[in-house]
Amino acid sequence: MKKIIGLLLSLFIIISLVGCSSEKQGIVETITIEENNGTGEYAGKSIILHTNDIHGGFIETGDVDGGLEGYAAIAAAKKHFENLDATVILVDDGDFSQGSIYVSLNHGAAATDLMDQCGYDIVGLGNHEFDYGVDSLRSNFEGKRFKVICSNVYKGDDTLFDSEVIAKVGDLKIGFFGLLTPETQTKVSLNYVQDLTFTEGQDLYDVAQKEADLLHSEADLVICLSHLGVDASSEKHKSEDVYANTTGIDFIIDGHSHTIMEAGSNGEPIQSTGTKAQYIGVIVIDNKTKTIESNFLYGLNDIEADIPVLDSAQNYMKEIDEKYSSIFANTNFILNGVKEDVRSKETNLADLITDAMLWGILKDGSIDVEDENIVVVTNGGGIRASIAEGGISMKDINNVLPFGNTLSVSYCTGAELLEALEASTYAVPDPLGGFPQVAGIEFVVDSSIAYDAGEEYPNSTYCGPNSINRVTVQSINGNPFDENAKYAIVTNNFCASGGDTYYALKKAYDEGKGFDTGIALDEVVVDYISNALDGKIGEQYAESQGRITIK
């Protein structure tokens, strides 16, 4: 009897080892999607419905951001195409965990709960999924029915999540793999990603090619969930770059740049839906020929909401609205937080925020340089929304500053400050998340001069400057600028840790020349508006104040 048990145990171990070996040899996990056998308009078709960059919101009309109702529209769109007898595969391309108070306060949990209710099948990752750390992200995925994939983010020798998956509809097999922008390592607080590796450049192309080859060995079509975008500042890491440097990718579902497109700039099979559920993407596949027939964008503004998902979304919103919607201040004009503007030029909202940061640090009283040597430099990409004319609530401020960043200080020489400004304006006049919004300083950027790019900063996709040839500092708090002087650079903890282009601030901070106050940035802004401005946004913020000149 013992011998039989021993033989069975040995056989079990051998079978287990063979299974592990087979996985390493390229056997891809398959999920089965029940085929729709109706006779309607899309009979015999599989439709991939895709979303990207929902950012916890829904564009109801024009540029007016709504709440989580977008998920109710997405669920309704899925049922719409199923009612036309399509077999629907619902996928998302990332950046669902941040962007409005409705998801930032719960670190993205509301988004993943609603996605599960919508019936998502496959989900890729965006850079903002890492805003609250990997542990928080994994917790949000626990118990969810959708499959999470990402092929180019590693912890040690293994990918952080599974690299790929095959969706099987009858005899049709569609392979999916995911790519996340390597910019994530400079767009997320370093503490959250310092033990992760993000492939970039040629290595990114190699990963994509490996995935395309693997999936084509088992699937009929290969789809890339590409949170890469097509912004000029993402050069070498754009979805178009991946397509140009690989073979075998049949279609790219793109995100990150919030672009609305049904094809790439050179006609590449790349589609992206914008942001905040402006559209849902549709890819139509013939089940018999196993080919992509068409792709298009489907508007969600007028679609009738799915009631169960809508009820869940509104329950999340109601709880937050009751706590954060009371009015504490007023403005007689729009405070401009439009993405393209805060990332390429000075705006009145940016002036308000940086003034609040300067006021907050002076109030804190921790700086050991003279007041005239204190300046504020913060990244425009950290400003996520505008504030409309009228009453201002805590919800408005949290929508503008949703990351939970804290007020930090790096002590730098004038030369280091100049390096930070030169690096963070390298893309001007094109938008860049690192674009410096400032207080206590006036400077000029000459965009007609090419950026003199040097070596890439450590753990970054950005290059430091070989020379300072675009930026000229005109004054610091009305005084002459001195490259050898010691300045206190007030910023947020993301920039102080080297986020975006701010390695110069990180270097000083890491050398012990800096500190974090622990004061939340949104609280500083509320405090400034409530106390320093007595709850009234005055005429000094009707327009931007001329701190930055772009030539």
Q: How confident is the model at residue 13 (pLDDT cuts 50, 70, 90)?
A: very low
Q: How confident is the model at residue 385 (pLDDT cuts 50, 70, 90)?
A: very high
pLDDT in tens, 219-238: 999 999 999 999 888 889 99
**Rounded CA gap, 43 and 84, in Å?**
7
List Cα–Cα distances, 246 to 207, 251, 253, 271, in angstroms. 10, 12, 15, 17
Q: Residue 268, Cα to own-chain centre: how many angstroms?
A: 23
* Res 120 pLDDT > 90: yes
- Give me the pLDDT at residue 482, please: 96
Amino acid (one-letter) located at 496: A
**pLDDT > 70 in the chain, percent:** 94
pLDDT in tens, 423-448: 999 999 999 999 999 999 999 999 99
Choose the weakest-confidence range: 96-100, 113-117, 171-175, 289-293: 96-100
**Rounded CA gap, 183 and 528, in Å?**
32
Choose the weakest-confidence range: 217-226, 289-298, 394-403: 394-403
pLDDT in tens, 75-113: 999 999 999 999 999 999 999 998 888 998 899 999 999
pTM of the model: 0.77
* Res 323 pLDDT > 50: yes
Cross-strand bridge partners of residue 77? none
Q: E strand or H helix at 272, and its extent?
A: strand 270-273
Backbone phi, then psi, for 161, in 5-degree steps?
-130, 170
Closest CA to 302 of 64, 67, 118, 77: 77
Structure tokens at 61: 């009309």
What mean pLDDT do residues 252-263 have? Answer: 96
Going through 365-417 in order, the beta strands assigned E by DSSP cover 374-379, 390-393, 406-413
List Cα–Cα distances, 247 to 43, 205, 212, in angstroms. 31, 10, 7
Q: How confident is the model at residue 303 (pLDDT cuts 50, 70, 90)?
A: confident
* Res 2 pLDDT > 90: no
Sign of CA dihedral 98, 103, 109, 115: negative
- Give me the pLDDT at residue 143, please: 96
Asked whether the beta carbons of 219 and 175 are under 8 A apart, the reply is: yes
Question: What does the DSSP assignment read for 497-537?
Answer: TT-TT-HHHHHHHHTT-EEEEEEEHHHHHHHIIIIISTTEE
Cross-strand bridge partners of residue 375? 489
Prior bond of 402 cis (ω within 30°) = no
Do the strands 30-32 and 59-61 form a parallel or antiparallel pair, or are they unpaired? Answer: unpaired
**Rounded CA gap, 93 and 180, in Å?**
9
Domain architecture of the chain: domains with CATH: 27-316 (3.60.21.10), 325-550 (3.90.780.10)
What mean pLDDT do residues 167-181 have? Answer: 97
**Helix/strand/coil for 276:** coil
**Rounded CA gap, 257 and 272, in Å?**
9
Q: How confident is the model at residue 60 (pLDDT cuts 50, 70, 90)?
A: low
* Res 465 pLDDT > 90: yes
Backbone phi, then psi, for 22, in 5-degree steps?
-60, -40
Amino acid (one-letter) located at 448: S
